[in-house]
């Protein structure tokens, strides 16, 4: 029962010609000559309005890149009506027998609701005509008849209209809260009874525009029974069922001596609407349970990150929900990742779908059914992709993604530290390639590169180019870490300006942080109309963010940071004797105090950043200090076996390999088991190694590689003292471990 102030959404669904629990199925095709803007804008407008009205709409777009989301035969067969919003010729043969609404893309964009309403009205008329061609069953009891809500209720004195194949126009009105209900069935003829005050003629209309309006029914209008005999209907005085009078054949009406009311034969597909107090009607259908039986997560991405990314996400969502599955889709588009999947969502998922044409890391999906496909496949064959993902067997022997109960979550870097590490990680390949190529250019002689056209000159040119990209890469990916893809362009531009202003890696860090903050702020604050939203990631954000960052770097930040960088470089170049040894002690201790932690990474970033300023001594101290902890521990497990468990002694072999490769994290298991003794020993040995390296003025042109980089001529200079620093640090670590660690009581001796 509904009052006069009932929500408009309920009436909106009634106006669509179906009951409030059933939505209409529509399909549409959009196309324009260029296939760029109007095609997709019209599709989005139709899809959005249909969803708001509670209907299901599938749209095929014919754009510059061809047909997207093509309509298959099953979708067309199940559709109640077809909308053709096209400015070019489209083959209509596959829609034969379906109600068609033809319009332009511009009209579909501007007057979307009217187009949807007209499609629903034509679908209702089509069902009426089709149903009336099938004779009713006079033996069917009225108690089993299903009721069809109408498009327009009528007053008791409203005329009944017979309509066939006219253009449709719809309008709205309201109905009184106490309007009586109507029982409707589908035989060709029906009988209705009216109250003493109801009297209206029957009107036949042909070749005129069809107007389907919602009139206001009188509060005291009686209920009307429309059914094949011997049918009866009863309703409460305030029953609320909308009523529509649409029919092609003439109808016969009968009334009591006090009133005369017209009748209308109505044909529609079965629907359910139960008036209050009715006991002889078919009970309303119970909607299926909405509790999802299975859960999926997905990631979609395409090279441009504008259209396919979100269309594939929508297709997967629709396909999964249609099958009763729960799904969460992360989109990695042009403005960054949206709806980012959490570790809890991934842990609860039964399967993972990656629909992408770009690289997507799969590390976080370990232990899950994983289906990798293209974004186009996820878009066009969403149903099949969903079923394939769930049908995959669980990976044998995979590490479960669900954390163990009570297991502490691994702390992830956050804030500026996280952004800095992201930039450094992407910068490393440029530094490694550039440094080693420069070192190779010196194999042929210190001045061999000065000969134009020679191999040394080519090697040095390539190395210089790689080094020139070092600071822009650092800045670009710091900004990327902060603002995602919108931060890349201003970050790289700011980093290039830092190079030109001689601000070095400090200028790159400043430019990256600035670009990330600016790009993220613009991305979150700028709001454009829906039809212009596509310009935001490709025009608005790059232009404004690059302009702001460039001006600030040129006029505000660049000069002070360049002065600071110059002072730091001069200080480091001028270090000798005690000062150099002290710096080596500091850098060495930082590399070992929190293996793989923020202090370790800060020291490493400092050494790597100075390579771009032709300052190579800190990098040498950093690498040798990072090699000694696992090497010293490995040696200690051999010479002091009683101080280590059997497992630790076995792990010592792997720690040696990791140490030689400059992977300091090989010492973490030992430090975690006995931090009060192992960490001081590691700090002592690394400080010794760093001090020796700086004391001899050792230089390193490559930021990584461990002992393997020693084989490259001129990569390390001088080589002998550098090896001495490595040996000294390793022995110091081992000696400290022997002194600090006590023998284990149950461990057998050598």
Q: What is the predicted pLDDT for the residue at 64?
A: 60
pLDDT in tens, 74-84: 888 889 999 99
| C-alpha distances out from residue 495 to 234, 365, 483, 487, 498, Å | 80, 34, 16, 12, 5
Question: Considering only CA atoms, which of 226, 217, 210 is closest in space to residue 121?
Answer: 210
Percent of the chain scored above 70 by pLDDT? 70
User: Hey, how many other C-beta atoms are within 10 angstroms of the C-beta on 446?
Assistant: 10
Does residue 476 register a pLDDT over 90? Answer: yes
> What pLDDT digit, counting tens, does each position of 199-252 carry?
434 333 333 443 333 333 333 434 433 333 443 333 333 433 343 333 334 434
Q: Is 10 exposed, middle or buried (0-12, 13-18, 19+ CB in 10 A)?
A: middle
The percentage of the chain sitting over the pLDDT mark of 90, rounded to a whole number, equals: 27
Active site residues: 302
Q: What is the predicted pLDDT for the residue at 291?
A: 52
| pLDDT: which is higher, 445 or 173 | 445
Give the distance, in angstroms, between the CA of residue 439 and the centroid of all CA atoms in the same chain. Answer: 43
Burial code of 48-58, b = ≥16 C-beta within 10 A, e = fewer?
A: ebbeebbbbbb
Given this model, what pLDDT does residue 505 score?
Answer: 85
Of 124, 126, 115, the closest CA to residue 59 belongs to: 115
Average pLDDT, the chain: 74
More confident residue, 13 or 339: 339
* Model confidence at 265: pLDDT above 80: no
Judged against a pLDDT cut of 70, whether residue 42 lies above it is answered with yes
Of 25-29, 178-182, 444-448, 649-653, highest mean pLDDT: 25-29
Cα–Cα nearest to 494, from 434, 432, 561, 426: 561
**Short-list 494, 629, 505, 609, CA closest to 551:** 494
Per-residue pLDDT at 217:
39
Q: Which residue has the higher pLDDT, 335 or 581?
A: 581
Least Cα distance to 373 among 327, 71, 363, 386 occurs for 386
pLDDT at 36: 61
pLDDT one-digit tens code per residue, 52-63? 888 999 999 986
| 163-172 per-position pLDDT tens digit | 333 443 333 4
Residue 210 three-state SS? strand
564-575: buried (b, 16+ CB within 10 Å) or exposed (e) per residue?
Answer: ebeebbeebeeb
304 vs 539 pLDDT, higher one: 539
Domains of the chain: 8-131 (3.40.50.2300), 147-272 (no CATH), 295-391 (3.40.50.2300), 418-560 (no CATH), 578-740 (no CATH)
Give the pLDDT of residue 148.
36
Given a cut of 70, is residue 5 above it in pLDDT?
A: no
What number is the average pLDDT over the span 652-674?
85
Average pLDDT of 133-152? 41
């Amino acid at each position: 029962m509904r009052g006069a102030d009932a929500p408009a959404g309920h009436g909106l669904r009634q106006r669509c010609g179906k009951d409030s629990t059933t939505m209409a199925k529509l399909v549409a095709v959009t196309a324009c000559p260029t296939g760029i803007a109007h095609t997709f804008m019209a599709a989005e407008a139709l899809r959005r309005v249909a969803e708001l009205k509670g209907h299901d709409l599938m749209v095929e777009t014919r754009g510059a890149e061809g047909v997207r989301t093509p309509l298959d035969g099953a979708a067309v067969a199940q559709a109640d009506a077809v909308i053709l919003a096209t400015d070019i010729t489209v083959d209509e043969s596959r829609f034969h027998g379906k109600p068609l609404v033809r319009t332009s893309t511009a009209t579909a964009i501007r007057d979307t609701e009217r187009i949807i309403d007209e499609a629903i009205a034509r679908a209702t008329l089509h069902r009426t005509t089709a149903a009336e061609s099938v004779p009713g069953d006079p033996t069917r009891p009225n108690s089993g008849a299903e009721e069809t809500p109408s498009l327009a209720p009528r007053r008791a004195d409203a005329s009944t209209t017979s309509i066939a194949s006219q253009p449709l126009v719809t309008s709205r009105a309201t109905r009184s809260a106490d309007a009586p209900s109507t029982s409707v069935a589908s035989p060709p003829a029906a009988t209705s009874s009216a109250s003493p005050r109801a009297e209206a003629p029957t009107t036949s209309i042909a070749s005129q525009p069809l107007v389907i309006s919602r009139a206001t029914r009188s509060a005291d209008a009686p209920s009307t029974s429309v059914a094949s005999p011997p049918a009866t209907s009863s309703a409460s005085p305030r029953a609320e069922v909308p009523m529509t009078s649409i029919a092609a054949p003439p109808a016969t009406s009968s009334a009591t001596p006090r009133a005369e009311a017209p009748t209308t034969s109505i044909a529609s597909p079965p629907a359910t609407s139960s008036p209050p107090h009715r006991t002889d009607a078919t009970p309303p259908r119970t909607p299926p349970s909405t509790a999802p039986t299975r859960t999926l997560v997905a990631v979609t991405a395409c090279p441009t990150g504008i259209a396919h990314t979100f269309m594939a996400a929508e297709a997967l969502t629709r396909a999964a929900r249609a099958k009763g599955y729960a799904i969460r889709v992360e989109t990695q588009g042009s403005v960054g990742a949206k709806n980012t999947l959490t570790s809890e969502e991934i842990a609860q998922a039964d399967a993972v779908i990656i629909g992408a044409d770009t690289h997507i890391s799969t590390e976080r999906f370990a232990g899950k059914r994983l289906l990798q496909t293209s974004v186009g496949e996820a878009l066009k064959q969403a149903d099949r992709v969903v079923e394939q993902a769930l049908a995959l067997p669980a990976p044998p022997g995979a590490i479960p993604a669900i954390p163990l109960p009570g297991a502490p979550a691994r702390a992830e870097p956050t804030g500026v530290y996280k952004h800095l590490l992201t930039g450094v990680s992407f910068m490393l390949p440029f530094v490694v390639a550039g440094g080693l190529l420069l070192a190779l250019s010196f194999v042929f002689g210190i001045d061999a590169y000065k000969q134009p056209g020679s191999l040394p000159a080519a090697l040095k040119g390539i190395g210089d180019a790689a080094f020139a990209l070092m600071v822009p890469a650092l800045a670009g990916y710091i900004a990327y870490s902060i603002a995602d893809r919108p931060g890349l362009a201003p970050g790289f531009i700011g980093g290039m300006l830092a190079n030109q202003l001689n601000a070095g890696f400090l200028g790159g860090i400043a430019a990256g942080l600035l670009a990330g903050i600016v790009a993220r702020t613009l991305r979150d604050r700028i709001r454009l109309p829906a039809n212009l939203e596509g310009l935001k990631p490709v025009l608005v954000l790059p232009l404004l963010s690059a302009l702001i960052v460039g001006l600030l770097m040129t006029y505000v930040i660049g000069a002070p940071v360049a002065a600071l960088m110059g002072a730091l470089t001069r200080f480091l170049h001028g270090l000798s004797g005690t000062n150099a040894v002290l710096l080596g002690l500091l850098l060495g201790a930082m590399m070992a105090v929190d293996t793989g932690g923020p202090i370790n990474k800060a020291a490493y970033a400092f050494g790597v950043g100075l390579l771009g300023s032709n300052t190579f001594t800190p990098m040498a101290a950093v690498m040798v200090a990072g090699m000694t902890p696992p090497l010293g521990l490995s040696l200690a497990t051999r010479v002091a076996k009683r101080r280590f468990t059997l497992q630790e002694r076995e792990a010592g072999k792997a720690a040696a390999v990791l140490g030689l490769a400059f992977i300091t994290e090989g010492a973490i298991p030992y430090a975690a088991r006995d931090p009060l003794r192992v960490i001081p020993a590691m700090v002592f040995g690394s400080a010794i190694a760093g001090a020796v390296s700086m004391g001899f003025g050792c230089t390193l042109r490559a930021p990584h590689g461990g002992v393997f980089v020693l084989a490259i001529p001129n990569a390390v200079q001088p080589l002998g003292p550098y090896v001495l620093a490595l040996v000294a640090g390793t022995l110091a670590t081992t000696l400290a471990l022997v002194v600090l660690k006590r023998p284990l009581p149950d461990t057998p001796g050598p």
